[in-house]
Amino acid sequence: MSDRSRDGYVLFTDPARVDVDLVHRWLSEESYWATGRAHDIVARSIAGSRPYSVWRDDVQVAFARAVTDGVTFAWICDVFVDTGHRGHGLGQWLVDSIIADLSAGGLQRFLLATRDAHEVYRRSGFGPVAGPSRFMEIDRRPTRNAILAALPDAE
């Protein structure tokens, strides 16, 4: 995939363009889902995924990644936009770019989770999981309670 630009922002898919230290700070200090996540975990998660980065000038301003086999399924996660760049549609641009890139390769099933950005992801085509009772999980994250706290059906 070639790099894309929009309104002075540039989207990269090259893993070498990810500012791992910055993404680690965002996730471990500013996100609700990855609070306290260790630097090596962030680095390894990026290395094991398809990372997407948005830059403005010489600074990374947004990040997302897809965990995927590239053929049947993708989990879109760690979508984060720096506070000073929110409100410009960067999160949706990231998600739409991931969907477009992987769809071009034939992938038809995408999943993501959010506590509070449902409307953003609806604009990208996401809806509630069909047959949620079919899904099972083991969730040992120390942030699990914070992640589920705002959900009406949290257990």
Structure confidence by residue, pLDDT tens digits, 105-122: 999 999 999 988 999 999
pLDDT for residue 1 is more than 60 = no
Structure confidence by residue, pLDDT tens digits, 56-96: 999 999 999 999 999 999 999 999 999 999 999 999 999 99
The label of the residue with tokens 């070498």 reads 16
Per-residue pLDDT band for 3 (boundaries 50, 70, 90) equals confident
3-state secondary structure of 136: coil
Percent of the chain with pLDDT over 90: 81
Q: What residue ranges do the domains of the chain occupy?
A: 4-128
Structure confidence by residue, pLDDT tens digits, 4-51: 999 999 999 999 999 999 999 999 999 999 999 999 999 999 999 999
C-alpha angle with apex 106: 100 to 112, nearest 5 degrees? 55
Q: Hey, which CATH number is domain 4-128, 3.30.300.30, 3.40.50.9100, 3.90.1150.10, 3.40.630.30?
A: 3.40.630.30
**Looking at the chain, how many residues does it have?**
155
**pTM of the predicted protein model:** 0.89
Question: How is the beta sheet containing 9-12 ordered, strand by strand?
Answer: 4-6, 9-12, 50-56, 59-68, 74-81, 110-111
pLDDT of 67 = 98
CA–CA distance, 111 with 122 (Å, rounded to integer): 12
